[in-house]
Amino acid sequence: QGTRDHPPAQAALRERLLSTVVSCFKRHGAAAIDTPVLELRETLMGKYGEDTKLIYELQDQGGELLALRYDLTVPFARYLAMNKVNNMKRYHVAKVYRRDNPATTRGRYREFYQCDFDIAGQFDPMIPDAECLKIVHEILSDLQLGDFVIKVNDRRILNGVFAVCGVPESKFITACSTVDKLDKVPWEEVKSEMVGEKGLSPEAADRIGEYVQLHGEHELVGVGSVAGGGRYDGLVGMFDPKGRKVPCVGVSIGIERIFSILEQRLKASGEKLRTTETQVLVVTPQKHLLAARLKLISKLWDAGIKAEMLYKKDPKLLKQLQYCEDTGIPLAAIVGEQELADGVVKLRDVSTREEV
Amino acid sequence: IAKEVAKLLEMKAQLGGDEGKPKFVLKTPKGTRDYGPKQMAIRERVFSAIISCFKRHGAEVIDTPVFELKETLTGKYGEDSKLIYDLKDQGGELLSLRYDLTVPFARYLAMNKITNIKRYHIAKVYRRDNPAMTRGRYREFYQCDFDIAGQFDPMIPDAECLKIVHEILSDLQLGDFVIKVNDRRILDGMFAVCGVPDSKFRTICSSVDKLDKVPWEEVRSEMVGEKGLSPEAADRIGEYVQLHGGLDLIERLLQDAKLSQNKLAKEGLGDMKLLFEYLTLFGITGKISFDLSLARGLDYYTGVIFEAVLLQQENEHVEELVGVGSVAGGGRYDGLVGMFDPKGRKVPCVGVSIGIERIFSILEQKLEASEEKIRTTETQVLVASAQKKLLEERLKLISELWDAGIKAEMLYKKNPKLLNQLQYCEDTGIPLVAIVGEQELKDGVVKLRIVATREEVNIRRESLVEEIRTRTSQP
């Protein structure tokens, strides 16, 4: 439940998408890493707050207690601490697992890709942070998703706002998670949650209200954010035996959401995406020519040409040409008895039907 | 004293122990490992060679979830079922982590009522092996599968699978290799004519399977001692399993008095002959060996089976030869999809799994031995500044380069020393440096330094992108 196979058409689109994202990461000099899908339960516990209940745990089968990774950030922090790395610019594209209640139309699956880019290390202020934002900008532009806006804020500003509005320090985090809902829910509702559920005074809520309205409102309707991130200087320290800190800033690209958008677009446009890259189909028009086909295709493969043939001893010419039309193969290399005698191959352009 | 100690221990327990102290768990689960940048660079090379081979043969790619319903996996792996990772029952469906990519593929075909497809799938699979016992055996590892599903004229797709293995192993330059082939029907036919009772076919098969690691004497004594086979039957098997060769061996066996009486063996031998004819047309029989001792562990093979092994480890400095064993294996499995289809509708399949982890290990060792330095990034140019207070100029220039698609980096320092910036290039293999300096800015040029030769040229700002592209021969 909440998972899906990716048939060739989807997988091909996804490949395109991921390769655009990765090429941007590489353009910025990031190195790739990979971590196991399994982590020790203790590694993940205590890192995700309320979301901890959404972690997939493995059954106790007599060994270590394991769980499936929930994101790529905690594994990254573990990796840095384990390998005593002081600075690194890395990207990691991989699947993560969450026991969300999948509202599949909203694109919230239980197994989904994340594309993370992070810069770890002690550097001059805001330069790496700026590069992260430049990367998001490049990716969203390259993908041609249309207009977008990247909202920025700062935890310190938020906490400062709460403080001057009279929110007790103990309620900073919970107030924060309420304010977070403002992208989906109107101010009135947020205010009543603050006052009604979280026990803030109405005056404090109003004061907060004046500040948090200071922003624009651009959004891709129905989909939510397509990328998010920020600075997290304390995480690696939680893993280091000496509590040694490694400041980090990073971003996670919401690839599944972007994928849904592109998939819908493709459907709407009626454009058919090829699922193979085959350049030529090797064809024989008469019977008893399997050997000739096998020999020719083998030569083509050995020369690096992407070629296919039908798995039939004596296929009909029409069927072979139809196969080209169905799968988008642009050329057909036809060897018939005459061509073999003359030492030539008839090359047919599938779209124009001309033959040379 | 004991009383006092007990009191102290109780107080310590009451304190809760880890209050405020970071709980540091610095390991990956047993049998799993991180891949650092160098390993990823090797991995990428290998994947890219393999994928380009799959694509050359017109395969499509699919992906399936890492977990399957527990019931999907139950009953497909025989004795190996105990090695499956189960997810905790957290109130939903009972799930398990996939054990291979073949069963998910069969499920996918049945679910989508697909009758023919040529697909590849590269992903991680999970097995609760005991890593201590089997060196280099991980619990999480990549599999790289290529399969052709569908009812076709015999042995053509089977031959293509072998051609693919041959191409991949050659492209990766792993040294000399051989691809052993056999057929389940020939094996079963052979057992029958040697007097093995039907009920013992599978268990004798798994004994024969050990012949690549263990000498005949040991296998024979297992068959007689543990599996209850008669010594005569074992000896008869022994005569056959020592045989390997090419078309000549196939012809000989087709004439064999006993085997030619067995329907199954005749069928298998007939197909083997056809296979070899096609492989001859593909020009690869030099590395193919029809080997009667090849058995392959899994239950679901129904026809041709094959396994590729490397013939020699070039690196003799390694104590244990990680990489001994097969680097690819597969075969025909016509009955698997039918197990998933509600109507038992069969879809014949043949495929191969590339042993990517073994290949990584081998290449990793080779690289270490050769001292070739492998880059972990593809950066073409470092944007550097020669004097102080040029951060803004650096940021502007690097942004121009990125927007033009150039792979560029800069140090995250307001006023970095030139020497540190040049050192960074040497350390990470960046071939060029684009240096902004006050004079150059005035003149509208950028100083381009070639790291390897240390020569420097002044390039006009507008031509910089083109210059970088040419010098790094990257578009």
Q: How confident is the model at residue B324 (pLDDT cuts 50, 70, 90)?
A: low
pLDDT, tens digit, 9 for 90 and up, residues A278-312: 999 999 999 999 999 999 999 999 999 999 999 99
Instruction: Return the H-helix or E-strand segment holding B171.
Output: helix B156-171
Indicate which of B69, B88, B103, B277 best probes the interface with A, i.e. most A CBs within 10 Å of its own CB. B88
A193 interface with B at CB cutoff 8 Å:
no
pLDDT score at B92:
72
CA distances from A58 to A40, A69, B29, B130, B201 (A): 10, 11, 12, 17, 36
pLDDT digits (tens, 9 = 90+) for A223-257: 578 999 999 999 999 888 888 899 999 999 989 88
As a whole number of angstroms, the distance between CA A39 and CA A45 comes to 10
Question: Cα–Cα distances in Å, from B8 out to A136, B3, B12, B99, B122?
Answer: 56, 9, 6, 49, 56
| In contact, B326 and B193? CB cutoff 8 Å | no
- A85 CB burial (10 A radius; 0-12, 13-18, 19+): middle
* Distance of residue B439 Cα from the nearest chain A Cα, in angstroms: 25
Q: Which residues of A touch B62 (CB under 8 A)?
A: 5-8, 11
Report how far residue B195's alpha carbon sits from residue B182's, in angstroms, rounded to the nearest whole number: 20
Nearest CA to B207 out of B293, B79, B130 is that of B293
Identify the residue whose tokens are 């599944």: A256
Provide the pLDDT for residue B5: 62
Mutating which of B21, B25, B103, B340 best tests the A interface, going by the most A Cβ atoms within 10 A?
Answer: B25
Query: What's the count of helices (H) and strands (E) in chain A, helices before strands?
Result: 13, 11
Q: Where are the domains of chain B?
A: 37-369, 381-472
B461 is in an annotated binding site: no
- Residue B339 makes CB contacts below 8 A (sequence gap 6+) with B76, B106
Task: Using CB atoms, pick whichever of B44, B88, B379 lies closest to residue A58.
Answer: B88
For residue B249, give every residue at least 6 positions away whose Cβ sits within 8 Å of its Cβ, in sequence order, or none. Answer: B243, B290
Q: What residue of A is the nearest CA neighbor of B375?
A: A31
* CB atoms A123 and B412 under 8 Å: yes
**Is-contact B190 B233, C-beta < 8 A?**
no
Q: What is the mean pLDDT of residues B363-390?
A: 91
For domain B37-369, the CATH superfamily is: Bira Bifunctional Protein; Domain 2 (3.30.930.10)
Instruction: Kindly determine whether residue A306 and residue B58, on different chains, have CB atoms separated by under 8 Å.
Output: yes
Tokens of B349: 């399949």
Helix (H, G, I), strand (E, B) or coil at B4: helix
At A272, the pLDDT band (50, 70, 90 cuts) reads confident
| B-interface mutation test, from A27, A136, A242, most B Cβ less than 10 A away | A27
Predicted confidence band at B135 (pLDDT cuts at 50, 70, 90)? Answer: low
Rounded Cα distance, B448 and B466, in Å:
12
Which residue numbers of A belong to the known binding site for L-histidine? 71-73, 98, 114, 118
3-state SS of chain A is CCCCCECHHHHHHHHHHHHHHHHHHHHCCCEECECCCEEEHHHHCCCCHHHHHHCCEECCCCCCCEEECCCCHHHHHHHHHHCCCCCEEEEEEEEEECCCCCCHHHCCCCEEEEEEEEEECCCCCCHHHHHHHHHHHHHHHHCCCCCCCCCCCCHHHHHHHHHHCCCCHHHHHHHHHHHHHHHCCCHHHHHHHHHHHCCCCHHHHHHHHHHHCCCCCCCCCCCCCCEEEEECCCHHHHHCCCCCCCCEEEEEECHHHHHHHHHHHHHHHCCCCCCCCCCEEEECCCCCCHHHHHHHHHHHHHCCCCEECCCCCCCCHHHHHHHHHHHCCCEEEECCHHHHHHCCCEEEECCCCCEC
- Select from A35, A95, A111 the Cβ nearest to the Cβ of B34: A35
pLDDT band at B316 (very low <50, low <70, confident <90, very high): low
Contacts of A97 in chain B (CB under 8 A): 66
More confidently predicted of B98 and B358: B98
Residues of B in contact with A124 (CB under 8 A): 412-414
Q: Do A56 and B87 touch (CB under 8 A)?
A: yes
Where is average pLDDT lowest: B104-108, B214-218, B367-371? B367-371
Residue B261: HSE in the Cβ half-sphere, 13 Å Cα cutoff: 6
Buried b (16+ CB within 10 A) or exposed e, A103-130: eeeebbbbbbbbbbbbbbbebeeebbbe
Reported as half-sphere exposure (CB side, CA atoms, 13 A), residue B223 has a value of 31
Find the range with the poorest average confidence among A140-154, B308-322, B448-462: B308-322
A233: nearest Cα among A155, A131, A153:
A155
Q: Do B409 and A29 touch (CB under 8 A)?
A: yes
Q: Residue length, chain A? A: 356
Q: What is the mean pLDDT of residues B196-212?
A: 87
As a whole number of angstroms, the distance between CA B434 and CA B380 comes to 10
Residue B212 has which token pair?
């690549």
Using left for φ > 0, alpha for ψ between -120 and 50, and beta otherwise, residue A317 falls in alpha
- Give the CA diameter of chain A: 94
Q: What is the pLDDT of residues B229-280, one digit of tens each?
A: 999 999 999 999 989 999 999 999 999 988 889 999 999 999 999 999 999 9
Q: Which of residues 84-123 of A touch B (CB under 8 A)?
A: 90, 95, 97, 99, 111, 119, 121, 123
Evaluate whether A8-151+215-269 and A280-349 have a shared fold.
no
Q: What is the mean pLDDT of residues B441-456?
A: 96
Cα–Cα distance for residue pair B180/B304, rounded to 1 Å: 11
Please state, in angstroms and rounded to a whole number, the distance separating the CA atoms of residues A227 and A117.
11
pLDDT of residue A156: 92
ipTM score assigned to the predicted complex? 0.86
Q: Which of A114-123, A186-195, B358-367 has the highest mean pLDDT?
A: A114-123
From A30's Cα to the closest Cα of chain B, the distance in A is 6
Q: Which residues of A touch B434 (CB under 8 A)?
A: none
Residue A115's H or E segment, with its range, is strand A111-120
Say which CATH topology domain A8-151+215-269 has: BirA Bifunctional Protein; domain 2 (3.30.930)
- Domain definitions of chain A by residue range: 8-151+215-269, 280-349
Backbone angles phi, psi at A204, to 5 degrees: -60, -45
Least confident of A15-19, A171-175, A321-325, B98-102: A171-175
| pLDDT of residue B461 exceeding 70 | yes
Task: Supply the pLDDT for residue A351.
Answer: 94
Tell me the HSE value of A293 on the side-chain side, using a 13 A CA sphere: 27
Residue B306 pLDDT exceeds 90? yes
Interface check for A332 against chain B (CB to CB < 8 A): the answer is no
A237 vs B: CB within 8 A: yes
Q: Radius of gyration of chain B from Cα atoms? A: 30
Q: Which residue of B lies nearest to A244 if distances are taken between CA atoms? A: B22
Q: Name, in order, each residue with C-beta under 8 angstroms of B11's C-beta and a sequence gap of 6 or more.
A: none
Chain A, 5-64: which have a CB under 8 Å from a chain B CB?
5-8, 11-12, 14-15, 26-40, 42-43, 46, 56-61, 63-64
Q: Residue A127: which of B278, B283, B412 has the nearest Cβ?
A: B412
Contact assessment for residue B431 and residue B377, using Cβ atoms and an 8 Å cutoff: no
To the nearest whole Å, the CA of A213 is away from the closest chain B CA by: 32
The tens digit of pLDDT for each residue in B138-172 reads: 789 999 999 999 999 999 999 999 999 999 999 99
> Is the pLDDT at B438 greater than 60, yes or no?
yes
User: Rg (Cα) of chain A, in Å, rounded?
Assistant: 28
How long is chain B? Answer: 475
Average pLDDT, integer, range B423-438: 96
Which chain B residue is nearest to residue A27, measuring alpha carbons?
A: B407
The alpha-carbon gap from B444 to the nearest alpha carbon of chain A, in Å, equals 25
**Higher model confidence: residue B133 or residue B307?**
B307
Is the Cβ pair B26, A82 closer than 8 Å? yes
Contact residues, chain A, for B405 at CB < 8 Å: 27
Q: From CA B99, how far away is CA B81, in angstroms rounded?
A: 9
- Residues B16-35 have pLDDT tens digits of 444 444 455 689 998 898 99
Tell me whether A234 touches chain B (CB under 8 Å). Answer: no
Q: What's the pLDDT at B21?
A: 47
CB pairs under 8 A between A and B: 225
Decide if domain A280-349 falls under CATH 3.40.50.1100.
no
**Does residue A248 belong to the interface with chain B, where contact is any CB pair within 8 Å?**
no
| Residue to substitute from A39, A59, A278, interface B, most B β-carbons within 10 A | A59
pLDDT of A173: 82
CATH 3.40.50.800 fits B381-472, yes or no: yes
- Is A237 in contact with B126 (Cβ distance < 8 A)? no
Nearest CA among B115, B129, B120, B150 for reference residue B50? B120
Residue B250 parent element (H or E): helix B247-255
Instruction: Tell me the torsion sign for CA atoms A270, A273, A275, A281.
Output: positive
Tell me if B432 is assigned to a ligand binding site: no
